[in-house]
Chain A
Amino acid sequence: MSAQARPSLFAMGRGVFLQVSRTVVILCVAAMIVGATIALMRGPLATSRQPTRTPAVTARSVATPVPTRQSDRRVAQAQERADARNQPLPERGYPTVLRSAGQLLGIGLVLAVILTIRTRVRTRMRLSRVSRALSAVRSGAAEA
Chain B
Amino acid sequence: MTIDMPGESVTNVRGKMPRRQPRNDSATARYWGVRPRLILDIVLLISFVTLMSVRFTGLAVHEWWGISLVAAIVIHLLLQWDWTAGSTQRLFRRMAMRVRLTYLLNWALFIAVVLLIASGILISEVAIPRLGLPTARGDALFNFWRRTHSIAADACIVLSGLHLGLNWRWVWSAMRLSIGFAPRSRKSAAAGGRS
Contacts and interface: CB of A to CB of B under 8 A. Distances in A.
A100 B157 contact: yes
Interface stretch (A78-86, A107-115, A134-142): A107-115
Contacts of A33: 111, 114-115, 118
Given A104-B48, A108-B165, A92 B55 contact: yes
B189 interface: no
Interface string B70-108: 000010011001000000000000000010000000000
A107 B141 CA distance: 33
B165 A19 contact: no
Q: State the majority secondary structure of interface residues on A.
A: helix
A34 interface: yes
A97 B161 contact: no
A103 B157 contact: yes
Interface string A30-72: 1001100110011000000000000000000000000000000
Interface residues of B, number: 41
B13 interface: yes
Interface residues of A, number: 40
B188 interface: no
B87 to A, nearest CB: 15
A19 B28 contact: yes
A108 B118 contact: no
Nearest to B113: A30
Contacts of A94: 53, 56
Contact of A96 (B52, B144, B160): B52
A92 B49 CA distance: 15
B148 interface: yes
B176 to A, nearest CB: 15
B164 A104 contact: yes
B27 interface: yes
Interface in A87-144: 91-94, 96-97, 100-101, 103-112, 114-116, 119-120, 123, 126
B118 A96 contact: no
A44 B170 CA distance: 42
A23 interface: yes
Interface string B46-64: 0011101111110000000
A128 B10 CA distance: 20
Contacts of A30: 110, 114, 118
